Amino acid sequence: MKITFCCTGTKPEPWLAGLRTALPGAEVTVWESGAPAADHAVVWAPPQQFFDEQAGIRGVFNIGAGVDALLKLQMPANATVVRLDDAGMSAQMAEYVCHAVIRHFREFDGYDADIKAGKWSYRKPRERAEFPVGVMGLGVLGARVAQSLTQFDFPVVGWSRSPKELPGVRCFAGATQFNDFLSATRILVNLLPLTPETRDIMRLETLSRLQSGGYVINVARGAHLVDDDLLALLASDHLAGAMLDVFRTEPLPAEHPFWQEPKISITPHTSARTLRDESIAQIAGKIRALDAGQTIVGIVDPVRGY
C-alpha cells in the first residue's frame, strides 16, 4: 500500500512517522511532482497538479472537517473523498462556543471594560430563558455544541438540512422551517458546511429575523457571513455583538472594519484545531476499512458539498 502526504503549511515529519506506525508495511512519503502513483492520499489544500498527476488515487483523506476548498479542485472520478468526523475537534468547538455564549450572556466584556476604567460595578443578572441559542448545522460538531449548551440551561434550538433529533434540543429542518428557527433564536451559532446554498446565509435578510439584541458566533467559514450586513445591524442595535473566528480573507486584513468595531470579538481561526494523533488514528482505521471493502463514515458527497 502506498500513501502520499500533501498538506500545505503542515510539517510532514510527525505525520509520516505516525502513519507509518499506525499502518505497518505501508509506504508513506511526501508528495513531490513526478512521484509514483499512490493508493491513498492525506491532504490539506493540495494543488491541482497533485490530482492531475495522481489520477489513480482511491482514497483522499482531508485533515480537517471542512472540504469546501478541496471540492473546488478537479479530482479523479473514482477517488473517494473522506473528511475527519471529529478527531478531537468537537470538544474544542464546544469549549469555544460555550465560552462565547456565556461571556456574552454574563456581560463579561462589559465587566472587563469597567475594570480597565477603574470601575467596580455590577449588572443585573439576566434570565437564560430570554437568550435562546440557535445552532445552524447539526453534524458531528454542531450536535456536540448544541448538547453542551443544554448543560448550562439555555434554551437550545437547532437547524439542519435534514431532520435531526437531539435530546434537549428543539430541532428545525429544511428551507420551510428556517425562518421559524431564526425567529426562535437570540444567539446564533454557525456550524454549517460551506456550499453554494449556504454561502452568504448570514445576511441582512436572515440576521434581521433574529430576536432583538441578537448575537452572532461564526466558527464555520467566513463566506457564510456578509460583513457589511453584520456591521449595519450592529450599528442599528438590532444585534448586540458578534464573536468571529473565521473570515473571508485570512489573516484578516489590517484595514478591515471588524478590527475597530468594539461590538465584535475576533479570534484567529482557532476554535477547533486538528489534533494530529487523533487524526492519524482515524485516517489509518478508515484506510484499513476501505481496503477491506468495508463501509466507513465521513465520505463526502460532492453534490451536497459535505
List, for residues 44-72, the tens digit of each pLDDT value. Answer: 999 999 999 999 999 999 998 789 999 99
Residues in a beta bridge with 42: 5, 61
- Predicted confidence at residue 265, as pLDDT, reads 98
- Predicted confidence at residue 87, as pLDDT, reads 83
Active-site option among 83, 104, 221, 224: 221
The domains of the chain are located at 2-87+275-291, 89-266
Q: What is the pLDDT of residues 195-247, one digit of tens each?
A: 999 999 999 999 999 999 999 999 999 999 999 999 999 999 999 999 999 99
Q: Which of these CATH numbers, 3.20.170.30, 3.40.630.10, 3.40.50.720, 3.30.830.10, describes 2-87+275-291?
A: 3.40.50.720
Per-residue pLDDT averaged across 136-151, rounded? 97
Q: What are phi and psi of 296, to 5 degrees?
A: -125, 160
Q: Taking the model in full, what pTM does it have?
A: 0.93
Active-site option among 20, 269, 276, 288: 269
- Predicted confidence at residue 191, as pLDDT, reads 98
* pLDDT-above-90 percentage for the chain: 95
3-state helix vs strand vs coil in the chain, percent to 5: 35, 20, 45
Q: Which of these CATH numbers, 3.40.309.10, 3.40.50.720, 3.40.50.1000, 3.40.718.10, describes 89-266?
A: 3.40.50.720
Active-site residue 273, yes or no?
Answer: no
Active-site residue 99, yes or no?
Answer: no
Q: What is the pLDDT of residues 80-134, one digit of tens each?
A: 999 998 888 999 999 999 999 999 999 999 999 999 999 999 999 999 999 999 9
